[in-house]
């Protein structure tokens, strides 16, 4: 009997949306952590990765303040520890509900930060960890983004972009940090290294607009939730650095777009060589930051092989 559950679950006092779908009740659990922060992805997972439901009970969680879980943070600003606590609460609920001891964990981008932190703190709850667009060092990543944009703008003779980039504070620790962050990110997208071969996110935007999973209210809330999450969490996120964490008690598998400049593929490749515990890496040759959607068929075939 297929499992289809879509409901709001209270995690640490805050109702949050969870979708649980699988073709059979005895399949292993797979929990997906979306990027951002605040970049809820339920419609994209349903469109591009529905095939995974043949192999897993797939859990899509829209984190607090994101997508269907949107609410204004106001004065009660969450920090990264809040999301880590929410994740632990959700994992415990899932394992209890489905009578399992462990589950598989997937983290994309911001979700890969939560994921890697989680397997350090609670390895006994995770069977295997999959990192997509895996974050290693946020400061180093932003520096690489800036260097890429500089090189590309000079090659294209886009003097205005070059001039503006040279004024960016790469530490992102002054009052203009959000403006600088959005400027650099926009250029990485324009130069086709966020979504490979595309200079914008139009296709993904259309996927959201025409999704059966999202109402107009959900679409608007997703935009509001994404911005407030970045404003609230990004400066703390910039302190993240896993560079010296080279051994895990949980096997790790990385899925990386070869051309990713949104989260540096080069930085991850160097980090991967230093990991001393069980590890695998899968490269997607025509992808940047979103291999699970850019090369969905390959992703959907590869991931179940690691059960």
CATH superfamily, domain at 3-136+199-306:
Alpha/Beta hydrolase fold, catalytic domain (3.40.50.1820)
pLDDT at 213: 96
The answer to whether 101 touches 60, Cβ cutoff 8 Å, is no
CA distance linking residue 231 with residue 183, whole number of Å: 15
pLDDT at 173: 92
Question: Going residue by residue through the chain (307 aa), what tens digit of pLDDT does each one get?
Answer: 899 999 999 999 999 999 999 999 999 999 999 999 999 999 999 999 999 999 999 999 999 999 999 999 998 999 999 999 999 999 999 999 999 999 999 999 999 999 999 999 999 999 999 999 999 999 999 999 999 999 999 999 999 999 999 999 999 999 999 999 999 999 999 999 999 999 999 999 999 999 999 999 999 999 999 999 999 999 999 999 999 999 999 999 999 999 999 999 999 999 999 999 999 999 999 999 999 999 999 999 999 999 9
pLDDT at 23: 97
Query: Is the bond preceding 37 in cis, omega lying within 30 degrees of 0?
Result: yes
Strand partners, 280: 253
pLDDT at 1: 86
pLDDT tens digits along 137-180: 999 999 999 999 999 999 999 999 999 999 999 999 999 999 99
Q: Where are the domains of the chain?
A: 3-136+199-306, 141-190
pLDDT at 75: 87
pLDDT tens digits along 38-85: 999 999 999 999 999 999 999 999 999 999 999 999 989 999 999 999
Cα 269 to its chain centre, rounded Å, is 18
SS (H, E, C) the chain: CCEEEEEEEEECCEEEEEEEEECCCCCCEEEEECCCCCCCCHHHHHHHCHHHHHCCEEEEEECCCCHHHCCCCCCCCCCHHHHHHHHHHHHHHHHHHCCCCCEEEEEECHHHHHHHHHHHHCHHHEEEEEEECCCCEHHHHHHHHHHHHHHHHHHCCCHHHHHHHCCCCCCCCCCCHHHHHHHHHHHHHHCCCCCCCCCCCHHHHHHHHCCCCCCHHHHHHHHHHHHHHHHHHHHHHCCCECCCCCCCCCCEEEEEECCCCCCCHHHHHHHHHHCCCCEEEEEECCCCCCHHHHCHHHHHHHHHHHC
pLDDT at 153: 97
């Amino acid at each position: 009997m297929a499992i289809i559950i879509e409901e709001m679950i209270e995690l640490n006092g805050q109702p949050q949306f969870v979708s649980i779908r699988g073709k059979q009740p005895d399949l292993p659990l797979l929990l997906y952590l979306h990027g951002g922060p605040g970049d809820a992805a339920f419609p994209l997972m349903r469109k591009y990765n529905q095939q995974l439901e043949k192999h897993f009970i797939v859990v899509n969680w829209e984190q607090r303040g994101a997508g269907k879980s949107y609410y204004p943070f106001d004065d009660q600003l969450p920090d990264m520890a809040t999301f880590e606590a929410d994740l632990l609460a959700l994992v415990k609920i899932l394992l209890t509900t489905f009578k399992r001891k462990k589950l598989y964990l997937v983290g994309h981008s911001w979700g890969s930060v939560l994921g890697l932190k989680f397997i350090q703190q609670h390895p006994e709850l995770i069977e295997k960890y999959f990192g997509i667009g895996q974050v290693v060092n946020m400061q180093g990543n932003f520096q690489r983004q800036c260097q890429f944009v500089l090189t590309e703008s000079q090659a294209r003779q886009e003097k205005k972009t070059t001039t503006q980039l040279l004024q960016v504070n790469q530490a992102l620790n002054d009052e203009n940090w959000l403006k600088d962050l959005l400027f650099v990110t926009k250029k990485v997208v324009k130069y086709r290294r966020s979504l490979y071969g595309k200079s914008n996110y139009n296709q993904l935007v259309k996927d959201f607009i025409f999704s059966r999973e999202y109402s107009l209210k959900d679409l608007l809330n997703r935009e509001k939730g994404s911005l407030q999450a970045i404003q609230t969490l990004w400066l703390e996120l910039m302190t993240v650095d896993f560079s010296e964490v080279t051994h895990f008690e949980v096997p790790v598998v990385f899925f990386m777009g070869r051309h990713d400049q949104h989260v540096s593929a080069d930085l991850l490749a160097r980090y991967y060589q230093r990991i001393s515990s069980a590890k695998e890496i899968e490269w997607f040759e025509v992808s940047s930051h979103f291999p699970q959607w850019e090369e969905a068929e390959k992703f959907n075939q590869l991931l179940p092989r690691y059960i």
